[in-house]
Structure 1
Amino acid sequence: MAIVVALAGSPSAKSRSSGLLKRGIELLVESGVTVQQFSLTDFVAEDLIYGRFDSPAVQAFNNAVKHADGLLIASPVYKAAYSGGLKTLIDLLPEHGLAGKVALNLATGGSAAFTLSLDHALLPVLNSLKIKFQVGGVFATDRDVAWQVDGSFHVAPDTEERLRLAINSFVSYLPHPLSAELAPGRLVEQIRQGRISV
């Protein structure tokens, strides 16, 4: 069974990016994927800032990534890039720590103008760690996603569809996927929306 490490790049469990990650995890689980979750709050800030590779939490994270088939990463966009806290954690991965793995990146921000921030900021970092393949990405504005008063997380229908397409594509690159479907009648539209490479 495929294993994915899901990483929340926001220090808040109630951030929009954490909510989008939560929905992505739900879709992965529905597809039969085992998910191991991590958040910046799992780590001591000083361990990340001072690059303490021997930190038990950092070692546990690196070990989980080593044995995973893929990574699902979510981050808020600050100043046109992913969060600094996420960068400090990624910096503690081994030099070839992502070799042979697949990644899907999720991000949220105040404006659609930052849609390409994942490609321009995060992708080069993952490439430097020898990521095998990145399955596009999903960006949502603050209007697309929101936590509700009852504690549920709302995802706008078009964003939900883009997320489903991206997750389906992501799962298709993992070992022995149980569910990865592309509707033949809508293949061109799905490729456009999900940024799927064929």
Structure 2
Amino acid sequence: MSNIVLISGSPSPNSKTASIAKWLQKELIERNHRADLIEVRELPAEDLLYANFKSSTIAHTHALIKAADAIIVLSPVYKGSYTGILKAFLDLLPEKIFAGKIVAPVLTGGTIAHLLSIEYAFKPIFSLLGAREILHGVFILDTNVQWNEKGDVFLAKEVEERIQHSLEDLLKATERKEFPTI
């Protein structure tokens, strides 16, 4: 059983990215893994805005991340990068907090042109935070995410297959021990 932390950088509770985060959390729990979800928009705005490193709420998120085997970071793409609220949260993380962790990026965007955000926006910050391994990641076009009449998210078949493949890669990577921690 792996301990996975999902970090959702969506500023909206009803966004496609937020729905995918909850869907992934449910998938992991159904596979008997621990899956904690940090919804950055739920953190105290003043703590994020004023970089309150002493906040007990922020300290709790740090404890979750430190205890995790792997991290899945999700964000919509705005202006070619992840959201500002996610940036504010990442700025509050201690240096090398991702040391020894597997990190998987998941981005949603309105155009395929945002695909490169994984390589040019997400991966450098994960590297700076000390990630042991950064997986390829999944980019999802907004048009491939829908809701059914119950409000449950459903993904285009091709997208669900890519996410399932990414989850498998993530879980296999958490089992490998040959990578040294940074």
TM-score (norm 2): 0.92
Instruction: Answer whether contact 1:69 1:175 (CA < 8 A) is retained.
Output: no
In structure 1, the residue corresponding to 2:81 is in which secondary structure? Answer: coil
Match of 1:126 in 2: 126
Q: Do 1:28 and 1:171's aligned partners in 2 also have CA atoms closer than 8 Å?
A: no
The CA deviation at 1:64 is: 0.7
1:102-121 to structure 2, matched below 5 A, reads: 102-121=102-121
Residue 25 of structure 1: CA displacement?
2.0
User: Percent of aligned pairs with the same residue?
Assistant: 32
Uncovered stretches (5+) of structure 2, i.e. residues with no partner:
177-182
Q: Distance in 1 between matches of 2:57 and 2:148?
A: 31
**Structure 2 CA distance for aligned equivalents of residues 175 and 6 of structure 1:** 18
Q: Does 1:42 align with 2:28?
A: no
Give the distance between the partners of 2:49 and 2:66, measured in 1 at CA: 22
Deviations 1:135-187 (Å, cap 9, x if unpaired)? 111111111002334211120000000000000000101148xxxxxxxxxxx
Give me the TM-score of the superposition, normalised by structure 1: 0.85
Partner Cα separation in structure 2 for residue 123 and residue 46 of structure 1: 27
Structure 1 counterpart of 2:74, one-letter code: A
Give the distance between the partners of 2:156 and 2:26, measured in 1 at CA: 16
Aligned letter for 2:121? A
Q: Using the alignment, how far apart are the partners of 1:14 and 1:149 within structure 2?
A: 14
Distance 1:119 1:20 in 2: 20
- Aligned counterpart, 1:79: 79
SS in 1 for 2:138: strand
**Do the aligned residues in 2 keep the contact of 1:76 with 1:109 (CA within 8 Å)?**
yes
* Count of residue pairs the alignment pairs up: 176
1:187 aligns with: none
CA distance in 2, matches of 1:53, 1:42: 16
The Cα shift of 1:86 comes to 0.5
CA distance in 2, matches of 1:144, 1:83: 20
CA distance in 1, matches of 2:98, 2:2: 15
Which aligned runs of 4 or more in structure 1 are off by greater than 4 angstroms?
Answer: none
For 2:136 and 2:101, locate their aligned partners in 1 and report how far apart those are by CA, in whole Å: 14
Q: CA RMSD in A?
A: 1.3
Task: Tell me by how many angstroms 1:23 deviates.
Answer: 2.2
Q: Is the Cα–Cα contact under 8 Å of residues 137 and 166 in structure 1 kept in the other structure?
A: yes
The CA distance in 1 between the partners of 2:148 and 2:13, in whole Å, is 14
Does the 8 Å contact 2:41/2:85 carry over to 1?
no
